[in-house]
Amino acid sequence: MPLEEYAALPYVEKESLMWYTSELCKAKVDRGYSGFSPQPVTSFFSDKPSRIYLNKRDLN
């Protein structure tokens, strides 16, 4: 499945961890993304706060 098709799935758009993961992959492909810092996310798998490590500045 192409990345753009995956990122457009309704559950990916609603689930923050999946959304950030797809944005991270797109940034890596499009802009050579290379940095990481913690970004708080929530998941429908657990109410416990989580973090994904990325460089949020590269997603804007």
Cα separation, 29 vs 47, whole angstroms: 31
Mean pLDDT over the full length of the chain: 81
Residue 28 binned pLDDT confidence (cut-offs 50, 70, 90): confident
pLDDT(53) > 70? yes
Q: How many CB atoms lie within 10 A of CB 1?
A: 7
Would the pTM of this model clear 0.85, i.e. be above it? no
Are 12 and 3 contacting, i.e. CB atoms less than 8 angstroms apart?
no
Cα 6 to the center of its chain, rounded Å: 12
Does position 33 have pLDDT exceeding 70, yes or no?
A: no
